[in-house]
Amino acid sequence: MSSIELDSVSKRFGSVEVISELSLTIHSGEFIAFLGPSGCGKSTLLRMIAGLETVNGGEIRIGGERVDHLPPGARGVAMVFQHYALYPHMTVFDNLAFGLRNIGTAADEIARRIEEAARILEISHLLKRKPGQLSGGQRQRVAIGRALVKDPKAYLFDEPLSNLDAALRVRTRVELARLHQQTRATTIFVTHDQVEAMTLASRIVVMNARKVEQVGTPMEIYGRPATEFVARFVGSPAMNFLPVKISDRGGLVSAVLGDGSVIETQVPVAGLPSGSDLRLGVRAEAIRAHAEGAIPAQVEVVERLGDRTHLHVHLMDGSTLVAEDSGMSQVQPGDSVRLAVEGATAHLFDADGLAYHARQ
């Protein structure tokens, strides 16, 4: 497999610049997810790598070779689209063989590649069927198999699970993870689903408004978000944000909420911007209902999720947040509770949405 390098890549549609001088290196064998909301530019970036969109500036290299001037078929990549795009009149075998026949691959080599791909994807028993005789999950595996038999330098997935129901998405996600473990292929996976990105990728590229907000491992993205957007977009429920005033506790921030409650953090005071427009960011799992908690609150909504319970509460100053309780929680809407906050995991965000983290 090969590395993929984007060097100051730009893309314009008319006078609108949708990607601006983006640089990124995807290492050989790595599984990268492009994660972000609709319209952020992630699919456009993938299509530029594939050669389906032209590059207006910068360079794209695959395996060290510049490819941004090459047609899609000469780049050595295979793409799996959101829609399966299978030929309905062909059998599964012929769908898998179609691209290889077009480039003159020998019949015995085609058979060998299809046999191997079908074994990996567990579709050997489907080779004589046509797409209309397959389930959605089976059709998606055939689409993946069509890419697999090409033995490309890299695989490009453009939201391939979006058309599947919830249970099938989970199963196919596991199959994709297993496939990457077996092939160790360089893979780019575009998605707006944070769960897909967190569970599949070795690194995540979080995009927003056609720019990269952060690149990191799943737990770096979750545990130390670079911006408020990342903190809100990754994690379910989203991170809580509370306006605070700060005081200095031996070089670390004491965050004072609107009702006077204090949360002791591990964020250094040094380096924080001047002014008082700061927000405290803290995950729901770091806020627990506890009889001896320092923060009084009233429960509005209770979400029972089996292994845990989410409590949607409002504080005495009118602020709202989501806290967590045990799966067997007895709390009911309208109850008064007290909350204990694990301040060591909290972050601060400035007026521009930039994050300030606890010491590592």
- The CATH class, in words, for 4-233 is alpha beta
Contact 225, 355 (CB under 8 A): yes
Q: Does domain 240-356 have CATH number 3.40.50.2300?
A: no
* 240-356 matches 4-233 in CATH topology: no
What pLDDT score does 276 carry? 67
Q: Give pLDDT tens digits along the chain (360 positions).
A: 689 999 999 999 988 888 989 999 999 999 999 999 988 989 999 999 999 999 999 999 999 999 999 999 899 898 888 777 789 999 999 999 998 898 888 999 999 999 988 988 888 999 999 999 998 888 888 988 888 888 888 999 998 888 777 877 888 888 888 888 888 889 999 999 999 999 999 999 999 988 899 999 999 999 999 999 999 999 999 999 999 999 998 999 999 998 899 999 999 999 898 766 899 999 999 999 998 899 999 999 999 999 999 999 999 999 999 999 999 999 999 999 999 999 999 999 999 999 999 887
Could you tell me the residue ranges of all domains in the chain? 4-233, 240-356
Helices 166-183 and 107-121, axial angle in degrees (round to 10): 120
DSSP string covering 221-235: HHHS-SBHHHHHHSS
- Round to whole Å and give the CA distance between 275 and 330: 42
What pLDDT score does 1 carry? 66
What pLDDT score does 160 carry? 84
What pLDDT score does 271 carry? 85
Q: Identify the helix (H) or strand (E) that includes residue 95.
A: helix 92-102
